[in-house]
Amino acid sequence: MPLPIENVDTDQIIPARFLKAVERKGFGDNLFRDWRYLDGETPNPEFVMNKPEYSGSILVAGKNFGSGSSREHAAWAIYDGGFKVVVSSFFADIFKGNALNNGLLPVQVTPEFLEEILESIENDNKAKFTVTLENQTFTNDTTGNSIEFEINPYKKTCLLNGYDDIDYLVNMKDEIEAYEQK
Amino acid sequence: MQKAFRLKLIFMEAKTLFDKVWDAHVVKKVEGGPSVLYIDRHFIHEVTSPVAFLGLKNRGLKVARPDQTTATPDHNVPTTNQHLSIVDELSRNQVEKLKTNCEEHGITFHGLGTEGHGVVHIIGPEQGLTQPGMTIVCGDSHTSTHGAFGAVAFGIGTSEVEMVLASQCIMQPKPKRMRITVDGELKPGVTAKDVALYVISKISTSGGTGHFVEFAGSAISSLTMEGRMTVCNMSIECGARGGLIAPDETTFDYVKGRMYAPNGEDWDKALAYWKTLKTDDDAVFDTEYNFDAADIEPMITYGTNPGMGIKISENIPTSDGLTGNDKKSFQKSLEYMGFNEGEPILGKPIDFVFLGSCTNGRIEDFRTFTNYVKGKKKAEDVVAWLVPGSVAVEKQIREEGLVEILEDAGFELRQPGCSACLAMNPDKVPAGKYSVSTTNRNFEGRQGPKSRTLLASPLVAAACALEGKVSLP
């Protein structure tokens, strides 16, 4: 799914008025709400998510994706909206952390590679891409070009094995209490 | 050999303020991964905490340190008739959920209408909960505000809120170090907000990404605590993880005597430590920027991110020289705002003025605004929302007699909350309308669907409110 817009901020990903739930469900319906709908309810035919020719679980966006608020709802909305990977040439820090904590993989590529990806999608809206977390590679199947992306080794292990920071921290109770005594 | 060794030793010892505070809180460094960072103070509000509490419940866990956790509802609350039940059902539910979660876990909760209520980043410093050298987190990006005290304070997501509730720790990779130095004397009419907007306009909304920023220089140290909080609050808008300023006498004077500030011997001990919290002369930053205070003028934004700021006296930039997505994004932004490339921003008609938020909702902001409008009249067709950041700020406004002056000038005061900063409560700017706002973000729809936000200082907001158009104070 191509979204060649820069500085896509968290208020565009999910506007604040949709943050009122006390449970984590249904956020995908409000993903990109104000771009996706005209006057609240009518789907905007110009917005990429409303174009039937586009589908897939990889969101490809312009640089500085996810700037703004710390709302994890942004990562939840993208994940609930059916995406597993977000590709951009630059991510905002808090968004990147939130994504990784929710099984959504942020893949940072060079600006040139991003251009190439967008060009491949423009030429063929069924263009395919392969993401391999083990090798940290993102491949444009159309051109065969591949790029290695960075991910913190600890986070990679967590994602691959479904580990959770909270389990890790709760198991550190004694060490944390020892620190508090210092 | 000996000399090299000595040099290395000096190099290793020299630390930045950020390093000193961060390193003192590392419980453990995970091999090839983040640090386990101990958190001194955790602020929570109604929007980003309910799912975290639900997570705790599902795991059968209790809050590890309720005594280091403080809660207040701010994002959802109306700013009129706060004695009545909240009309919006979802908002009411979120606020009530926060209260019951706090009761269940023994967390101090400052409910609507109580003395301690207010915007979470305003009440922390006010009550003395925010102190130099602390690590402070909250599920809100503007937690960076607390860095004004020489604390390492940053916004976190809900999974991380759950981590802190469960363990009082958080897993975080250590950010890089940046220093932004602003030297010289600020011109009259130039405030902390202008400094912040100027810096972001220079380094862009992603210039600080991956970094923790120390603000330094004579223009910064000459600011009051209120001004310093405004600067650190906006540090997230340049993409930084947070911002901080070395504590000094201004800081210590502000903290002393506040409700949760240390007393007696504890104060002396704390003060001795706080005085060590400054960057060593030989410490090295990963990135440095230097600005001259004399170059800064009253600022305003013309686009849809906080980096799109100009001096009010300047014309809106053109897209000449931009290409590809940069050009498209720039043009999309101007189209949204209903502005043309290259035209002056001065004199553009405006509809709304909002004074308040965690950026500019403190007493000094209200004094500045009131002082400017004293004896003058608000433009008739401008709707002005004046929203104190807390009950304490509201009380002080009344005690100082500012309300009468404001009312004479055609303004009225509302009740504390986040209000029109983020369109999550009834205070929304209607579609297509222009709002000069003392807040932190001018994103599309930030103040209401299709609303148009121009970020500015309280002083500029006051001038605009009187003239009904973009004006220089």
Q: How far apart (Å, rounded) are the C-alpha atoms in residues B292 and B298?
A: 14
Please give the span between the terminal C-alpha atoms of chain A, in angstroms, as a whole number: 51
Q: Enumerate the residues of chain A whose CB falls inside 8 A of the CB of residue B169.
A: 169, 172, 176
Q: Enumerate the residues of chain A whose CB falls inside 8 A of the CB of residue B94.
A: 20, 22
Q: Of all helices (H) and strands (E), which one includes residue B392? A: helix B391-399
Q: Enumerate the residues of chain B whose CB falls inside 8 A of the CB of residue A175.
A: 27-28, 36
For residue B149, the 8-state DSSP code is: G
A151 Cα to chain B: minimum distance (Å) = 10
Q: Which two tokens stand for residue B435?
A: 């709002």
Q: How far apart (Å, rounded) are the C-alpha atoms in residues B56 and B161?
A: 10
| Per-residue pLDDT tens digits for B402-455 | 999 999 999 999 999 999 999 999 999 999 999 999 999 999 999 999 999 999
Taking CB atoms and an 8 Å limit, are A11 and B166 in contact across chains? no
- Picking from B17, B26, B23, B8, the residue whose alpha carbon sits closest to that of residue B283 is B17
Strand pairing partners for B310? B300
Counted residue by residue, chain B has a size of 473
Bridge-based pairing state of the strands A58-61 and A2-3: parallel
Is residue B172 a contact partner of residue B137, using CB atoms and an 8 Å limit? no
Position B2 scores a pLDDT of: 45
Taking CB atoms and an 8 Å limit, are B47 and A4 in contact across chains? no
Q: Which two tokens stand for residue A85?
A: 């990977």
B238: left (phi over 0), alpha (psi -120 to 50) or beta: alpha
Single pTM value for the model: 0.96
CB-CB: which of B51, B88, B156 is closest to A24?
Answer: B51
Taking CB atoms and an 8 Å limit, are B423 and A16 in contact across chains? yes
A103 Cα to chain B: minimum distance (Å) = 12
Q: For B307-319, b where at least 16 C-beta lie within 10 A, e where not — what string? A: bbbbbbeeebbeb
B281 φ, ψ (degrees, to nearest 5)? -55, -40
Per-residue pLDDT of chain A (182 residues; tens, 9 = 90+): 999 999 999 999 999 999 999 999 889 999 999 999 998 789 999 999 999 999 999 999 999 999 999 999 999 999 999 999 999 999 999 999 999 999 999 999 999 999 999 999 999 999 999 999 999 999 999 999 999 999 999 999 999 988 889 999 999 999 999 999 98
Q: Enumerate the residues of chain B whose CB falls inside 8 A of the CB of residue A179.
A: 27, 38
Place of tokens 């449970």: A23
Over residues B173-195, the mean pLDDT reads 98
Taking CB atoms and an 8 Å limit, are B206 and A97 in contact across chains? no
Q: Enumerate the residues of chain A whose CB falls inside 8 A of the CB of residue B206.
A: 7, 63-64, 67, 90, 92
Position B12 scores a pLDDT of: 62
Taking CB atoms and an 8 Å limit, are B54 and A22 in contact across chains? yes
Taking CB atoms and an 8 Å limit, are A5 and B332 in contact across chains? yes
Q: How far apart (Å, rounded) are the C-alpha atoms in residues B149 and B196?
A: 17
Q: Does A160 touch chain B (CB under 8 A)?
A: no
Taking CB atoms and an 8 Å limit, are B444 and A12 in contact across chains? yes
Position A41 scores a pLDDT of: 85
Which of B141, B176, B328, B429 would best serve as a mutation to test chain A binding (most A beta carbons within 10 A)?
B141
Nearest residue in chain B measured CA to CA from A25: B51
CB-CB: which of A40, A102, A152 is closest to B33?
Answer: A152
| Per-residue pLDDT tens digits for B287-319 | 999 999 999 999 999 999 999 999 999 999 999
CB-CB: which of A69, A72, A169 is closest to B166?
Answer: A169
CB-CB: which of A11, A22, A68 is closest to B50?
Answer: A22
CB-CB: which of A67, A97, A170 is closest to B61?
Answer: A170
Q: Enumerate the residues of chain B whose CB falls inside 8 A of the CB of residue A172.
A: 27-28, 36, 167, 169
Q: Does A174 touch chain B (CB under 8 A)?
A: no
| Per-residue pLDDT tens digits for B1-32 | 344 444 545 456 799 999 999 999 999 998 87
Q: Which two tokens stand for residue A6?
A: 């820069």
Nearest residue in chain A measured CA to CA from B210: A93
For residue A139, the 8-state DSSP code is: E
B218: left (phi over 0), alpha (psi -120 to 50) or beta: alpha
Chains A and B: how many Cβ contacts under 8 Å? 185
CB-CB: which of A67, A70, A73 is closest to B140?
Answer: A70
* CA-derived radius of gyration, chain A: 18
Q: How far apart (Å, rounded) are the C-alpha atoms in residues B442 and B454?
A: 6
CB-CB: which of A72, A154, A179 is closest to B33?
Answer: A154
B158 Cα to chain A: minimum distance (Å) = 6
Q: Enumerate the residues of chain A whose CB falls inside 8 A of the CB of residue B59.
A: 166, 170
Instruction: Give me chain B's average pLDDT, please.
Output: 96
Q: Does A63 touch chain B (CB under 8 A)?
A: yes
Is residue B196 a contact partner of residue B208, using CB atoms and an 8 Å limit? no
Taking CB atoms and an 8 Å limit, are B329 and A172 in contact across chains? no
For B272, other C-beta atoms within 10 Å of its C-beta total: 9
Q: How far apart (Å, rounded) are the C-alpha atoms in residues B323 and B303?
A: 18
Q: How far apart (Å, rounded) are the C-alpha atoms in residues B124 and B151?
A: 12
Over residues B342-367, the mean pLDDT reads 98
- In single-letter form, the type of residue at position A52 comes to P
Is residue B390 a contact partner of residue B417, using CB atoms and an 8 Å limit? no
